[in-house]
Structure 1
Amino acid sequence: MKEYILGLNLVDLISEKHKVLRDRVNTASGEKLNKTETHILAMLELHAMLSISEISRLISISRQGTQKTINNLLAGGYVDTAIVEGNSRDKHIVLTPRGAEVCRSMLEIKQNIEAEIAARIGKDQVEVLRKLLTEDWL
């Protein structure tokens, strides 16, 4: 364990663990995606189709930042645009088969990491942690 961890407050401890977990998922996936790109893919997996404005609101970044990230995902073949009848104003974004496969692969990686964590700290502790993290304390 890194010694500096012992002196961190709860917010920084959670941030440190989050960073390590995200790095492990991204490394294991072999995809060259940044945090914003993976966040957008996850939102599209959850919602199936979103406008750029909706994505911006969901992930709390500017519309311009979202557009730039979407352009990268379009170029990489992870997402595509969709026409929504009756709405010519908004550009809607959907996962491509490649994007859906990346999401499926990342879910599998996350499940494997969770199993590793359970092996280290115990399944009961993982369930306690899951319960605490899903409670409404923020």
Structure 2
Amino acid sequence: MTSSRVANELASVLVPLGIVGAVLAGLCALVAAIAIVRGAGGLAGGAVGIWIPAAVLSLTASFANQWTPLFVSVALLVGLLVIGVVVRGIVNAGEPARAAARERRAAVIAAAPVTTTASTTTGSPATGTIPALAR
């Protein structure tokens, strides 16, 4: 076998492995971004920790001079982490307004008059089943 034939055979195996690694790395980056938005630091760290072997798997395509899977996996991680941080900042910026709205709603509920209906029974008022309270 000539060296070009060996290189072609290796490329036929290593490039699909690199693409699978890039897809897995992209999924891990997406999970990390969602975890950052939700404020789950442990999940974000775990997702980035799993992203590392997936990125190494995408590195296998570089042995066939295909660097695109590695670049895609790195770009996805960086881009989605930035998006996650920005969205988390937007969510945190809106929190004081939501807290003020909850306080206003609680004040309106507390200030609302309580209406009770008069009892129309003619017998003794029902006080429960405890005889000591019936007097």
**Greater length-normalized contact order (CA 8 Å, ≥ 6 residues apart):** 2
Quick check: which one's strand share is greater? 1
The TM tier, using the shorter chain, reads: under 0.3
Quick check: which one's helix share is greater? 2
Report the structure number with the largest CA radius of gyration: 2
